[in-house]
Amino acid sequence: MEQLTQQQLTKQFINGEWREGASKKTITSYNPYTGEELITIQAANEQDLDDAYAAAARAQKVWEQSPLVEKKQRFEQLVEVLLEKREHITNWLIDEAGSTKLKANAEFDSSVRMVKEAASFLTRITGEILPSYIPNKENRIYRNAKGVIGVIGPWNFPFLLAMRSIAPAIATGNGVVIKPASDTPVTSGLLFGEIFEAAGFPTGLVNVIVGRGSEIGDAFVKHPVPSLISFTGSTEVGRRIGELAGYHLKDVALELGGNNVMIVLKDANIARAARAAAFGSFMHQGQICMSLNRIIVEADVHDEFVDAFTAIVRSFKVGNPHEADTFIGPLINREQVERILADVQASVALGATVEVEGAVKDCVLPPIVLTNVTNDMPIAKEEAFGPVASIIKANDEAHALTIANDSPYGLTGSIFTENLHHGVELAKQIKTGMVHINDQSVNDEAHVPFGGEKDSGVGRFNGEWAIEKFTTVKWIGVQNGYREYPI
């Protein structure tokens, strides 16, 4: 299948047309490993944004009323397009987002599953008929699309986490306008214009606006057309979006930061726990909202765990993400490297011990393992979002639970224990949206609710929870026969 040219990917995708942005500013995408410029895009301004939302609103009205068989065909074609463009998409993920081959392929596969799950929504959107206290009346409950959804994509899992909102929004009858992350304008935005166009979806149903947050960020949220803003990213930006959306009485789906824990109990299988922790801490260089930030280990097995864990981490190949056996690739930009190193240095000054580290080169930061960490150190207090694992020694299980809950975040977590029932009971006491027993924290399945508590977000993605989020209900009361009124 023909791919878009590099020149086309420097344009906005509005109402089915690839056109130059009207802003005087530009956005440049760089390869974080080589530092080379990939593309430079003429940014969008508020007029472009107006045009995109208007196009989505027009197309949505037609799409929602389209025959079911036609919608089903479009989603089947979308899967075919994705599979044909697999190498094209994964190469962009490696070059633009710094994904290793392992991560890029896992992200692609999860995106296909997300589309297939969304396609099932076409026959899962149902209404109800409820009884009435009024004689000869019935209450009909209809479920309809919300209208137009504004999607703001992230840079870490750019394709999957944008698709997680786009495909369900379209499947439930909505139009979409996408604002990709500035670091990944292709993989969190422009690729969607390409694939939805190739799959034959109606003109204007999916639009992509590449613009600076300082120029169109607030307008994207405040615009009168969208009924819901879906955002995946930092808690700081999520708060701003929530404030703006709340003032304008819009719904939001916010998947924000995490400070996720793995609790290793003294009865755990240490070899398995160490291997899972290494994957959960360092997959995609730790740049995942679900990554393990703190590993809390009971004192009885602390030293054994540290030995097993550090041996695995030292074996990781670091470097070129295009090489199949590389597990640690580059961070998205040098600013992230400097931020993480500053937090590590500050934590060491407070008493943390460096067990594993390596030489930094450009955006490649080799894995760092710290022990003697406490919750008040910067590396444990804040979301690291990088290749750093902090190990915290707990006196006992109760102490471990206290440490785990001592955080404003509550996205996901993990517990290792040989007593599964006890693990579940302990998981119920951790204030997060998700917990995995004898597994690490990086899990996302298209049919299972995904989301967090506290500062980690609002709402749930995936499955029936996505249907609920992207639709609204209408009550239509039907009076059969004359109703007597006491007047």
pLDDT digits (tens, 9 = 90+) for 134-151: 999 999 999 999 999 999
Question: 448-453 contacts: CB < 8 A, separation 24 or more?
Answer: 450/164, 450/255, 451/255, 451/411, 452/255, 452/256, 452/258, 452/409, 452/410, 452/411, 452/412, 453/410, 453/411
Looking at residue 386, what is its pLDDT?
Answer: 97
Selection from 384, 357, 360, 377 nearest residue 369 by Cα: 357
Specify the DSSP element, H or E, that contains 92. Answer: helix 86-97
Q: Is the pLDDT of residue 265 over 70?
A: yes
Tokens read off for 215: 């120029």
Q: How confident is the model at residue 5 (pLDDT cuts 50, 70, 90)?
A: low
The reported pTM is: 0.95
Active site residue 194: no
Looking at residue 7, what is its pLDDT?
Answer: 62
Mean pLDDT of 399-423: 98
Question: 210-213 contacts: CB < 8 A, separation 24 or more?
Answer: 210/12, 210/21, 210/27, 210/41, 210/43, 210/44, 210/179, 210/180, 210/185, 211/21, 211/23, 211/27, 211/43, 211/44, 211/45, 211/48, 211/49, 211/179, 212/23, 212/25, 212/27, 212/43, 212/182, 213/182
Q: Is the pLDDT of residue 197 over 80?
A: yes
Please state, rounded to an integer, the average pLDDT across all residues of the chain.
Answer: 97
Looking at residue 168, what is its pLDDT?
Answer: 98
Q: How confident is the model at residue 6 (pLDDT cuts 50, 70, 90)?
A: low
Domain ranges of the chain: 8-256+456-474, 260-437
Looking at residue 58, what is its pLDDT?
Answer: 98
Residues 380 and 390 sit within 8 Å (Cβ to Cβ): yes
Distance in angstroms (rounded) separating the CA atoms of residues 460 and 18: 33
| Pair type for strands 206-208 and 175-179 | parallel
Looking at residue 461, what is its pLDDT?
Answer: 96
Q: Is the pLDDT of residue 1 over 80?
A: no
DSSP conformation class of 214? I
Q: How confident is the model at residue 2 (pLDDT cuts 50, 70, 90)?
A: low
Looking at residue 286, what is its pLDDT?
Answer: 97
Selection from 190, 220, 201 nearest residue 11 by Cα: 190
Name the region of 379 (left: φ>0; alpha: ψ -120 to 50; beta: rest).
alpha
Looking at residue 9, what is its pLDDT?
Answer: 84
Q: Is the pLDDT of residue 282 over 70?
A: yes
Mean pLDDT of 150-160: 97
Q: For the chain, how many residues are written?
A: 487
- Residues in Cβ contact with 27 at an 8 Å cutoff, skipping those fewer than 6 apart: 40, 41, 43, 182, 185, 210, 211, 212
CATH code for the structural domain at 260-437: 3.40.309.10
Mean pLDDT of 390-418: 98
User: Which superfamily does CATH assign the domain made up of 8-256+456-474 to?
Assistant: Aldehyde Dehydrogenase; Chain A, domain 1 (3.40.605.10)
Q: Is the pLDDT of residue 78 over 80?
A: yes
Selection from 54, 47, 57 nearest residue 19 by Cα: 47
Tokens read off for 404: 């785990």
Mean pLDDT of 221-238: 97
Looking at residue 8, what is its pLDDT?
Answer: 73
Q: Is the pLDDT of residue 202 over 70?
A: yes
Residues 27 and 112 sit within 8 Å (Cβ to Cβ): no
pLDDT tens per residue, range 307-344:
999 999 999 999 999 999 999 999 999 999 999 999 99
pLDDT tens per residue, range 340-352:
999 999 999 999 9
Mean pLDDT of 203-214: 96
| Set 117, 194, 255, 298: catalytic member | 255
